[in-house]
Structure 1
Amino acid sequence: MSTGTALSGLRKAALLLIQLGPDQSAPVLRSLRPEEIEALMAEVAAMDVADEGTRESVLLEFEDMVRASRVRNRGGFDVAEEMLVKAEHEQSREILGRLSTAITHAPFATLRQVDAGLLRPFLEDEHPQTIALVLAHLTSEQAAFVLSGLGDALRSDVAHRLAVMDRTTPEVVRVVEQHLRASLAAMGDARDQVSVGGLDPLVGIISRSQRDTERAILQGIEDRDPALAEDLRAKMFAFSDIVDLDDRTVQVVLRTVDTKELALALKGAAPAVRDKVFRNMSERSAASLQEEVEVLGPVRTAQVEEARSAVVKGIRALEDSGDIIISRAGGGDDLVT
């Protein structure tokens, strides 16, 4: 292969992977689709020896692309359009048309540009199901602000509806959008069913709310659906999240947790979790606990999960009583030390 030969993009990619080697090229391949991997590997397998000039040319081109990507760190429709135009794909025009329609018609896209302070009074008189549907499409920060300003009963109702919401039809989204269009910019309909609500967005909202709002939401859901409230609490703090607690908090937890239960919970735990626990114990206590973990032998996964659940419940009880404070991303509590 000589430097005078025009290389296709596929061949350049294959040559780059060859120079990266098996270990460094593996993460790249894992990010590709099966058909892309097959095409690349076929090119790699068929490639002969490349001269030094060709290898250097490909590497320099890749370096220029990396530098350009650092400068151009903003995406957007115009960037996507430029990429497609330069790719000279035969269906570029059709792809851009569909992309433009999808972006323009994203459900409630305009609401993400509206200040949360304006959204709250706009939404508070709507039906709880409508509010839940809209919150599911907002950012967690916007939704947390809106939810925290609702009355206690309405807030609990909306939070519950958001948690149990799964999918909605384009017709429902369209009706709600048409209802809101008088006060906000026009919004299109969703072409397909869209996933909305569920525990994950509610966890994101709660984690960015004031602690009294968080407790009120959890209590409201507890009154309506205890099992759902337990699932929500489990999502908000898992056993592995112990690594995110400060040392003083971990020490308080260790003084209250049952040692045998803790040993079972640590069975098969990540090294970071074990280290966090052992590091906050006396050397003698840590050695004793480590020995207890080792002598347990094989245990059922269900037993380990049950023990971890018990430890987490103990941590939540300490938080509820005010003995510890668990800081969450975006939370609104200020601490005075």
Structure 2
Amino acid sequence: MADEDKKFDLSNTSGTDMAAILMLSLNEEDAATIFRHLEPKQVQRLGMAMASMEDFSHDRVVAVHQRFIEDIQKYTNIGIGSQDFVRNALNAALGEDKAANLVDQIIMGSGSKGLDSLKWMDARQVANIIQNEHPQIQTIVLSYLESEQSAEILSQFPERVRLDLMMRIANLEEVQPAALTELNEIMEKQFAGQAGAQAAKMGGLKAAANIMNYLDTNMEGMLMDSIRESDEEMAQQIQDLMFVFENLIDVDDRGIQTLLRDIQQDVLLKAMKGTDDQLKEKLLRNMSKRAAEMLQDDLEAMGPVRVSEVEAAQKEILSTARRLSDAGELMLSGAGGGEEFL
């Protein structure tokens, strides 16, 4: 009986790995149906996890299935098919402004397919498509896409253009239907789609800060200096809204534990090489005693690491933190403050 009650320990299995195991448990048709409902970055991340999955032990697979069943049973009384549920769930997850257009696309079928198709392209492709368009069109595209993709696209442009576009993004508040229609007509020359009827809130200082967070450290510093020379107040506002590695000190312990489960050991080691003692202690405190001791030993034995490697590792961890925050699995605070929940 004791062996039957003992469950496989999933504490070292990330959410992505559990999703990969679930997907690999399905037939190809059902897995493809789920993939069609995911964002491009999610498809890439999940696909890579599925391709590299090696541990298919019976106990691990059963434990993942049991966890999934336990989680889904929490929501058995929710009216999943109702429009109110979809609207409320999206509002709670994304906020009313960001969810408004997505709700229209799902419920009323008024999606901007021309723009959405750009999400599936790499940064160089998108940059090539929009490089000869008016800067205002480029600004709308960068504000519409996810911050990480926008940062990659922005890095393809010359420094002078990056500065102009970033300041336009920071000053943008909403886009009128006519502008979206024009943009979709441009996209429809290569793709299909039609514009929605409502003005869309996009851009702004927070959007600029989010894109800056994903830029290469050197590029981020140079761009921030250029913005400061042109508009010191704007630069300070963007800086205040950016979430940097040191802000992890303000994430609660539960959030840190969630984050650590999704970080590779070698990435964490490099990132902690440039961490102050207070944050380092917080990270170690949220590991098991054995894991913390092993990591501490590895840190002490680790040789010199290039600053660029430390910064890249910290950027990767911040990217994971923002993804988990977007999924509602942890709450970020610090520079710019976090959202308050009751």
Q: Aligning the two structures, in what range does the TM-score lie when normalised by the shorter sequence?
A: 0.3 to 0.5
Q: TM-score scaled by structure 2? A: 0.45
**Structure possessing the higher radius of gyration over alpha carbons:** 1
TM-score normalised by L of structure 1? 0.46
The higher-RCO structure (CA 8 Å, 6+ apart) is 2
